[in-house]
């Protein structure tokens, strides 16, 4: 991709409009397994991270790549057929969004980086999002997306160690229908989340891949339920692919009363995602 001047893409900005209707909120509520609580009505505060469902990219089928992804927007340079992985995010929640209100998102390219050469060439795109509701600015978000070469076979990935001194440890049941329904809610057609032959034969994963955003949603919900309120700051980092066959546990280490470290962990063997939630009481 030497012919692309990546600096020309930095600071490009695009705006989007969206909403979470009462019906969509009910569907999210159902998919994320909130059977013990009532669905949200119009005007209710939107749970943190649910704005991810408000701005689906509705590409025509003719515009989708082989992997099921479309071009994220005109903001992003064409990245070819590399693996696309949402690797990291940092969010500040200023005030609540609400079910039923019109939402706006302004997205700017903060940086485009290139690493390595040849078969090891990879790219990292950082996007800054501002989410507005009727009351004004509500969420600031930095999103990082990596584009990685597709390996010739299943790659070896260094494993992090499991956390120690757990304060919270909960099992969570994964399933193929869960991943399919989550993809449907976000209008995400990336085939690694529902097409096993594609995931195994083309992108060289051993099984269907769990969406990083789903893991972040689950960790945010865990923190909010046990603390009794949503954090003001939340960051997450994708460490290792999580697969639908895995036995998932959601874990918390309270670093301080106002700072929790959260993990999605497979079979008590290694974390797939780590996150930090910070409250300002």
Structure-block tokens of residue 141: 């978000």
Triad 66, 209, 204: Cα angle to 5°: 60
Q: Give the dihedral sign, CA 89/93/98/102.
A: negative
* Residue 69 predicted with pLDDT over 80: no
Question: What distance in Å separates the CA atoms of residue 127 and residue 130, rounded to the nearest whole number?
Answer: 10
The alpha carbons of the chain give a radius of gyration, in whole angstroms, of: 19
Over the chain, what is the mean pLDDT? 88
* Rounded average pLDDT over 216-228: 96
- pLDDT per residue over 237-262, tens digit each? 999 999 999 999 999 999 999 999 99
**How many C-beta atoms surround the C-beta of residue 219 within 10 A?**
25
pLDDT for residue 175: 93
* Residue 221 predicted with pLDDT over 60: yes
Question: What distance in Å separates the CA atoms of residue 117 and residue 98, rounded to the nearest whole number?
Answer: 46
Structure-block tokens of residue 36: 């013990």
Domains of the chain with CATH codes: 6-278 (3.10.129.10)
- pLDDT per residue over 73-111, tens digit each? 567 777 765 777 889 999 999 999 999 999 999 999 999
- pLDDT per residue over 145-200, tens digit each? 998 887 665 555 656 777 788 999 999 999 999 999 999 998 887 889 999 999 99
Task: Report the predicted TM-score, pTM, of the whole model to 2 decimal places.
Answer: 0.91
Structure-block tokens of residue 22: 């009462």
């Amino acid at each position: 991709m030497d012919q692309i001047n990546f600096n020309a893409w930095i600071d490009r900005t695009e705006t989007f409009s969206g909403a979470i209707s009462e019906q969509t909120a009910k569907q999210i509520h159902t998919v994320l397994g909130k059977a013990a609580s009532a669905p949200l009505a119009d005007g209710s505060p939107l749970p943190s991270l649910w704005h991810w469902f408000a701005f689906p990219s509705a590409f025509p089928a003719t515009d989708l790549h082989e992997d099921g992804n479309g071009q994220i927007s005109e903001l992003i340079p064409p990245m070819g057929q590399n693996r696309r992985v949402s690797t990291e995010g940092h969010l500040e929640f200023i005030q609540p969004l609400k079910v039923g209100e019109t939402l706006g998102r302004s997205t700017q390219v903060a940086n485009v980086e290139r690493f390595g050469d040849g078969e090891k060439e990879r790219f990292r795109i950082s996007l800054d999002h501002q989410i507005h509701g009727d009351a004004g600015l509500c969420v600031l978000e930095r999103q990082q997306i990596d584009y990685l070469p597709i390996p010739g076979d299943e790659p070896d990935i260094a494993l992090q160690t499991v956390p120690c001194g757990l304060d919270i440890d909960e099992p969570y049941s994964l399933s193929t229908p869960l991943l399919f329904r989550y993809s449907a809610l976000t209008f995400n057609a990336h085939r690694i989340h529902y097409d096993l032959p594609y995931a195994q034969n083309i992108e060289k994963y051993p099984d269907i891949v769990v969406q990083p955003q789903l893991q972040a949603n689950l960790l945010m919900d865990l923190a909010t339920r046990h603390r009794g309120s949503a954090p003001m700051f939340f960051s997450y980092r994708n460490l290792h692919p999580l697969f639908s066959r895995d036995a998932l546990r959601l874990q918390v280490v309270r670093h301080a009363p106002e700072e929790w470290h959260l993990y999605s962990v497979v079979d008590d063997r290694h974390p797939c995602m780590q996150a930090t939630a910070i409250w300002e009481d």
